[in-house]
Amino acid sequence: MEYKNSGWKLEPDGKRLTFTDGHGIGTLRLVGKRTIETFPLKQIKRVRLVKRADGDSVQFAVQADRQISHDATEKMVGIDVGLKRFYTDSAGASVQNPRYLRQSEKRLKRLHRQVSRKVKRSKNRKKAIKRLAKGHLKVQRQRKDFACKAARALVQSHEPGRL
């Protein structure tokens, strides 16, 4: 669920977030390393409630002016994203696809079997479904982490002064 400028209120101490939209969510206690009260309320553009298999979280979208300077370089690279290899660049270098889903198929298959054996609408079935969802979430996060790291490595390897 996503809120823009209305429907939520940050308490003055910055440790609680109250939802005033009438959905009955109420007040949530904020836990984290960074304090949100350091940002003025005008900078907080969106508040998003995210529900995943490993728990619920609140995301704040904060407007911040960020300046990143890139030196233009004459070096260009083309990328071909494929199925057998994650990508191949125009220089001929390629990165293998780690296939995280294939690696965890055995575990996910076992978790699916555990779900199907449980009695429908039982507590144990709900627990098994939660374990299965966490397994899929782990694969999703592995894939995203690998893609981000591979993209960063590709960009950094073609920056001036790196070679």
pLDDT given at position 156: 84
Q: Which residue has the tokens 């779900």?
A: 115
In what order do the strands lie in the sheet containing 94-96? 79-81, 85-89, 94-96
Judged by DSSP in three states, 90 sits in: coil
pLDDT tens readout for residues 23-73: 888 899 988 877 787 788 888 899 999 999 999 888 999 888 888 777 777
pTM, two decimal places: 0.81
More confident residue, 12 or 37: 12
